[in-house]
A and B are shown apart, each in its own frame.
Chain A
Amino acid sequence: MNALALARRPLVYVLLSVAAFVSVFPFYWMVVGATNKSADIVTGKPSLGDSLFANAATFFATVDVARIFWNSALIAVVGSLLTLAVSSLAGYGFEMFRSRFRERLFALMLLLLSIPFAALMVPLFVMISQAHLTNTYAAVILPGIASIFIIFYFRQATKAFPAELRDAARVDGLKEWQIFLYIYLPVMRSTYAAATIIVFMANWNNYLWPLIVLNTADMKTATLIISALTSAYTPDYGMILFGTVLATLPTLIIFFLLQRQFVEGLLGSVK
């Protein structure tokens, strides 16, 4: 081994350590911030303070915590389940039952992937208003259910689904929907785990579209309400960071619960 290779190894550890530190530090800052007064946070006090309960009290007094987290949870859970159901059915269908016409439709769909949301925003808003759906959960959830990205992801993953399993199930007399429900779904659980993380995070963190269609405080999500707190003239960062800790917990928990399958699921899709 030459000198260059010997010198490279510590360099790799330094690089990765710096990257890991930079990545994790804001999380540390968030937790520490939730225990400090706003004045201490903007002047960069990096140690734990004693204002955790004061911040919590202010947060609970300022916003209807139960209500906004209920709104967020309902939108994220129902939205994710519908997205997973509709998009995985389509991904499975496109891969398992190929026809020339459907292949063309699929190619067209991939083209649509590059159309930015900004281009759809205005007509979608007008459609939702004309259907009298503004300020409803349905308005937030409906446009996102058929996700091209997730359909594409499931189609790629379905390529790894063993054909023998399906053939055996057919011989046993199972109907197509039974094969999907009782064979495909359990076999592909790592793909579903990965897709769940992606879809849940996207729904939970969704900002622009809910900002447009939800307009009363009792319908708004945690993301919208906490974001509005930060644009106050003198934001109370202690209270806000306490809120962000709460708002980050659900995605963190889901991530750590499904992490193992997530990495495996992604590996499967790229193959």
Chain B
Amino acid sequence: MAQAKLGRSEQVTGWAFVAPALVLLGIFMIYPIIWSLWMSFQVGKGMNLSFGGWANIIRLTKDPVFIRALVNTCIFFVVQVPIMIVLALLFAVALNDPKLRFRGLFRTAIFLPCVTSLIAYSTLFKSMFATDGVVNNALIWLHVVSGPIPWLQDPFWAKVLIILAITWRWTGYNMIFYLAALQNIDRSIYEAARIDGIPAWARFTGITIPMLKPVILFTTIISTIGTLQLFDEVNNITIGGPSDATLTLSLYIYNLTFKFMPSFGYSATVSWVIVVIVAILSFLQFLIARDRRPAA
């Protein structure tokens, strides 16, 4: 009897601790999600909406700007996420060597970009990559290029610039997760492998990568979500230009909602395209991670 009463009061305390968060999530997350799903089937301007069935989805397939934003977003994701994850892994493994000197200095330096504010870093990149800017000057001085690269004017180089900017900002962030996970791997495993004559590269692919798999999966999913939601950088560095070359889905949704004649229904449909892509990619990443697990 006393046991049951204790259980009940624990139940009440448990709910009391999580209640504020659950109420807020209900209001500011669950409710808008359901609303947005309903909205994505509505057509019309402003708040003057009516049920449109599949109209918005049909409009998607015929909207060249949407297709361009989708392709751009996919290019950013496919090119940038692997580069960043590989770099972050390399830095983390290098910094995990206890015999390395200046570890703290290197770690702080590489992590520093995460601390900058968005405006600081987009302004910096905009001015450093100006046509006569410091980056072009350095590249010409080093004889890498003969003339200045039109970073902000050329559709291809504008994409490269955005990829460079995101990589600069987020590599150190991912690196910290790997560093933390690496420190949990027992050093004696490496010692044993070395005594058995297993070369460094094989130790990396055979021990480090499998041990880090859960963290790699976590960071890949977080980065995937981040890249698919890309907005701040493109809105501040290139404003989606030149000629929509860096327009992303999030920026297009923002334009549809707050810049053009507001069409809430259609912009909700575009946002659900991101949800569907994130869901598919996360599912695929889980599948890939699970398939290889028996080998680890």
Residues of chain A whose beta carbon lies under 8 Å from any beta carbon of chain B: 4-5, 8, 12, 15-16, 19-20, 22-24, 26-27, 29-30, 33, 41-46, 86-87, 89-90, 92-94, 96-99, 102, 105, 109, 112-127, 142-143, 145-146, 148, 151, 176, 180, 201, 204-205, 207-208, 212, 222-223, 226-227, 230-231, 237, 240-241, 244-245, 247-248, 251-252, 255, 259, 263, 266-267, 269-271
Complex Cα distance, B41 from A155, in Å, reads 37
Are B17 and A92 closer than 8 Å at their CB atoms?
A: yes
Q: Which residue of B lies closest to A108 (CB)?
A: B30
Say yes or no: A244-B123 contact (C-beta < 8 A), given A119-B271, A142-B28.
yes
Question: 29 A-B contacts, Cβ less than 8 Å apart?
Answer: A15-B91, A23-B113, A26-B116, A26-B168, A27-B116, A29-B124, A29-B134, A44-B133, A87-B21, A93-B18, A98-B14, A112-B25, A113-B225, A114-B275, A115-B29, A118-B231, A118-B250, A122-B257, A127-B31, A127-B32, A146-B20, A146-B24, A151-B21, A207-B119, A227-B123, A240-B123, A247-B117, A255-B115, A266-B180
Say yes or no: A29-B275 contact (C-beta < 8 A), given A90-B18, A116-B229.
no
Among B21, B116, B171, B184, contact of A90 (Cβ-Cβ < 8 Å): B21
Is B181 part of the binding interface, using a Cβ–Cβ cutoff of 8 Å? yes
Are B200 and A251 closer than 8 Å at their CB atoms?
A: no
Distance in Å from the Cβ of B73 to the closest Cβ of chain A? Answer: 11
Are A123 and B25 closer than 8 Å at their CB atoms?
A: no
Say yes or no: A223-B119 contact (C-beta < 8 A), given A86-B21, A89-B18, A118-B253.
yes
Are B272 and A119 closer than 8 Å at their CB atoms?
A: yes
Which B residues are CB-close (under 8 A) to A271? 184
Complex Cα distance, B119 from A122, in Å, reads 24
Within 8 A of A (CB), among B113-141: 113-128, 130, 132-138
Mask, B1-42, CB within 8 Å of A = 1, is 000000000110111111011101100111111011001000
Mask, B204-229, CB within 8 Å of A = 1, is 00000000000100000100010011
Mask, B74-110, CB within 8 Å of A = 1, is 0000000000000100110011010010000110111
Are B231 and A42 closer than 8 Å at their CB atoms?
A: no
Within 8 A of A (CB), among B228-283: 228-229, 231-232, 235-236, 239, 249-250, 253-254, 257-258, 264, 267-268, 270-272, 274-275, 278-279, 282
Among B11, B18, B239, B278, contact of A116 (Cβ-Cβ < 8 Å): B278
Complex Cα distance, B14 from A176, in Å, reads 10
Residue among B16, B18, B249 with most chain A CB within 10 A: B18
Complex Cα distance, B124 from A30, in Å, reads 7
Are B124 and A120 closer than 8 Å at their CB atoms?
A: no
Complex Cα distance, B264 from A127, in Å, reads 13
Which B residues are CB-close (under 8 A) to A123? 31-33, 35-36, 39, 268
Distance in Å from the Cβ of A99 to the closest Cβ of chain B? Answer: 6
Distance in Å from the Cβ of A3 to the closest Cβ of chain B? Answer: 13
Residue among A8, A255, A263 with most chain B CB within 10 A: A263
Complex Cα distance, B10 from A176, in Å, reads 9
Say yes or no: A226-B119 contact (C-beta < 8 A), given A20-B110, A23-B172, A42-B130.
yes
Q: How many residues of B contact A (CB 8 A)?
A: 98
Which A residues are CB-close (under 8 A) to B66? none
Say yes or no: A251-B116 contact (C-beta < 8 A), given A33-B127, A96-B14.
yes
Say yes or no: A26-B117 contact (C-beta < 8 A), given A151-B21, A266-B177.
no
Are B271 and A118 closer than 8 Å at their CB atoms?
A: yes
Residues of chain B whose beta carbon lies under 8 Å from any beta carbon of chain A: 10-11, 13-18, 20-22, 24-25, 28-33, 35-36, 39, 47, 87, 90-91, 94-95, 97, 100, 105-106, 108-128, 130, 132-138, 168, 171-172, 176-177, 180-181, 183-184, 200, 215, 221, 225, 228-229, 231-232, 235-236, 239, 249-250, 253-254, 257-258, 264, 267-268, 270-272, 274-275, 278-279, 282
Which A residues are CB-close (under 8 A) to B264? 122, 126
Distance in Å from the Cβ of A124 to the closest Cβ of chain B? Answer: 5
Among A27, A122, A223, contact of B36 (Cβ-Cβ < 8 Å): A122
Say yes or no: A116-B228 contact (C-beta < 8 A), given A26-B113, A30-B120, A226-B119.
yes
